[in-house]
Structure 1
Amino acid sequence: MRVAVCQMNARDDRTVNLAAARDLLGRAAAAGATLAVLPEYVDYLGPGPGMPKPEPVDGEFSAFFAEAARELGIWVHAGSFHEAGPDPERTFNTSLIFNPAGELVETYRKIHLYDVEIPGRVSYQESRSVAPGERAVVTEIAGVPTGLSICYDLRFPELYRRLAIDGAKMLVVPAAFMMHTGRDHWEVLLRARAIENQCYVVAAGQIGDHEPGRTCFGRSMIIDPWGTVVAQAPDGVGIVCADIDLSRLENLRTELPSLANRRL
């Protein structure tokens, strides 16, 4: 099947963000994509005080992308959005997957949260405003077993190995990787996850500036199970596509049976 990664620059206007996402999905469908993947936080990237009220899974955000999937006749991975959380202080960072009939077929809540404390340099606690998910998810997208993850999850290889053991042949990574880490780590980590788990990796990123004073790296890409980057977005808003070839994946797993040979 053909997969498209949609690279966008979400900012602090939810209406504008959703319109931009819908345009990218339309471009993906026109390019023949069976599946289009959007980046992390499609709904809003901006100052905390200006964030729209978080929604439940069956809210307006979900309805918007259900309609888009139905109108375009494609699978839509709606990146992630701010889902209403377990208490007033925290949201979930949640992915929604829709089939071509516009039906919500799976959700995933980001498990790993970025908490760092370096005296005199940086203090950031994602867990103060985001609640962690607790469920690793493999779901079928157009018949392909697909493992779900979001952004910072990428740094935890044990999650992806679990997804591969659970049958994943494709791993999806919507993200908003920051520029200073993305330029050194983004491609390296994505290729490592592809190689060690012998899976296709489909990674859609945010790109460009957003408030407060942050810049996302972009470089959305699709990587085959050998670790070869088969499609990569240039530094701007847009889409790139590649074909997922499961026969190639099975041949690689047969010729280099590292998953079958594992002992732990």
Structure 2
Amino acid sequence: MTPTRFTAACVQMRSGRDPLKNRDAAVALVREAASQGAHFVQTPEMTSLVERERAALFDKVGPEEQDPTLLALREVARERGIVVHLGSNAIKNGDKIANRAFLIGPDGEIVASYDKVHLFDVDLPNGESWRESATYTGGDRAVLAETPWGWLGMTICYDVRFAALYRALAENGASFLSAPACFTKQTGEAHWHVLHRSRAIETGSFMISAAQGGLHEDGRETFGHSLIVDPWGRVLAEAGTEPGVILAEIDVGLVADARGRIPTLKNARPFRVEAVPAPAPAPVGQVASA
């Protein structure tokens, strides 16, 4: 029988430029979450390395099978008998890097991986400029991963702005959605909460998103505020900007309850978009008839 309740945890970090220090910090926080009773623990985007210098980034990352953080968290999952969602790591992928998330089962085996689909290419009003596509390869598939409590829709950070991705995951069986992130402080202050609550409400799903927070060694500042949101849009747990752990009790039955009360997944209908031009203006000197 599928369990109907579990404790979820988000690990908030402030990853720096040393992958091994970041690994050790992640391991310590995941163990802390497990010691507090978490059955499912998620770490943020770029758990193993936050490094904006392209040459240094490539120098510090390697292939998936050699990634020290992935190897360490697989061992912790096995040791504690928990599900670990590694929010993402930078993984060498040809001449670029994949921003890749992993779901690790209680036996330490990799259940699923997901490469971030939507890449953050933007010029911000404060002068910051980001071109993820110059360094990263974008994924081309949405991923549902099975957990002991139901299906998890795996996404990463900027994906949260693309509502159709979350609807597709929910329509295909996801009860839990996630967007572990390294959100900038500026965009996070404006949009982080409303985006997460919207994705939860629109799909009648839990949103579980661990985040990076604070001023990092490479100079970027991230928003933090790791969130766990229920299918009615209520915030069950929220962090500030400091590293640490948040936990929330997840009642899987709330998914069916929310979708029964507001059945948007069932009520959706196909439609077409039709552009209707304005009437041609009357010739000068003439008055259009009523």
TM-score range, shorter chain: over 0.9
Gapped runs of 5+ residues in structure 2? 1-5, 271-290
8 Å contact kept, 2:17–2:218: no
Kindly provide the amino acid, as one letter, of the partner of residue 79 in structure 2. Answer: E
Within 2, Cα distance between the matches of 1:28 and 1:121?
37
SS in 2 for 1:11: coil
Question: What's the counterpart of residue 247 of structure 1?
Answer: 253
Within 2, Cα distance between the matches of 1:115 and 1:173?
18
TM-score by length of 1: 0.94
8 Å contact kept, 2:61–2:67: no
Q: Deviation of residue 122 (structure 1)?
A: 5.4
Question: What's the counterpart of residue 84 of structure 2?
Answer: 76
Q: How does 1:83-122 map to 2 (within 5 A)?
A: 83-85=91-93, 87-88=94-95, 90-116=96-122, 121=127
Q: Deviation of residue 118 (structure 1)?
A: 7.8
8 Å contact kept, 2:80–2:106: yes
Question: What's the counterpart of residue 157 of structure 1?
Answer: 163
Q: Deviation of residue 123 (structure 1)?
A: 4.3
Q: How does 1:4-15 map to 2 (within 5 A)?
A: 4-15=9-20
Q: Deviation of residue 135 (structure 1)?
A: 0.9
Q: How does 1:11-50 map to 2 (within 5 A)?
A: 11-48=16-53, 49-50=55-56
Kindly provide the amino acid, as one letter, of the partner of residue 72 in structure 2. Answer: F
Gapped runs of 5+ residues in structure 1? none
Q: Deviation of residue 166 (structure 1)?
A: 1.0
Q: Specify whether residues 64 and 227 from structure 1 end up closer, same or farther in structure 2 by C-alpha distance, changes over 3 A only.
A: same
1:56 to 49, 60, 63: 63
Q: Specify whether residues 26 and 120 from structure 1 end up closer, same or farther in structure 2 by C-alpha distance, changes over 3 A only.
A: closer
Question: What's the counterpart of residue 130 of structure 2?
Answer: 124
Q: Deviation of residue 54 (structure 1)?
A: 2.6
8 Å contact kept, 2:153–2:178: yes
SS in 1 for 2:189: helix
Within 2, Cα distance between the matches of 1:241 and 1:173?
16
SS in 2 for 1:58: helix
Q: Specify whether residues 2 and 123 from structure 1 end up closer, same or farther in structure 2 by C-alpha distance, changes over 3 A only.
A: closer
Q: 1:184 and 2:190 equivalent?
A: yes
Within 1, Cα distance between the matches of 2:121 and 2:101?
21
8 Å contact kept, 1:197–1:225: yes
Kindly provide the amino acid, as one letter, of the partner of residue 62 in structure 2. Answer: E
Deviation sequence 1:122-164 (CA, Å, 0-9, x none): 5432101000011100111223111000001011111111111
Q: Deviation of residue 212 (structure 1)?
A: 3.2
SS in 1 for 2:76: helix
Question: What's the counterpart of residue 224 of structure 1?
Answer: 230
SS in 2 for 1:239: strand
**Max radius of gyration: which structure?**
2
51-60 or 62-71, which deviates more: 51-60
Q: Deviation of residue 116 (structure 1)?
A: 2.6
Within 2, Cα distance between the matches of 1:246 and 1:81?
28
Corresponding residue pairs, total: 262
Kindly provide the amino acid, as one letter, of the partner of residue 106 in structure 2. Answer: P
196-205 or 64-73, which deviates more: 64-73
8 Å contact kept, 1:47–1:211: no
Kindly provide the amino acid, as one letter, of the partner of residue 148 in structure 1. Answer: M
Within 1, Cα distance between the matches of 2:123 and 2:192?
22
Kindly provide the amino acid, as one letter, of the partner of residue 195 in structure 1. Answer: I
Within 2, Cα distance between the matches of 1:76 and 1:26?
11
Within 2, Cα distance between the matches of 1:244 and 1:198?
14
Within 1, Cα distance between the matches of 2:41 and 2:168?
24
Q: Deviation of residue 119 (structure 1)?
A: 11
193-202 or 54-63, which deviates more: 54-63
TM-score by length of 2: 0.86
110-119 or 173-182, which deviates more: 110-119
Q: 1:169 and 2:175 equivalent?
A: yes
Question: What's the counterpart of residue 139 of structure 2?
Answer: 133
8 Å contact kept, 2:13–2:211: yes
8 Å contact kept, 1:12–1:47: no
Within 2, Cα distance between the matches of 1:59 and 1:28?
25
Q: Deviation of residue 222 (structure 1)?
A: 0.2
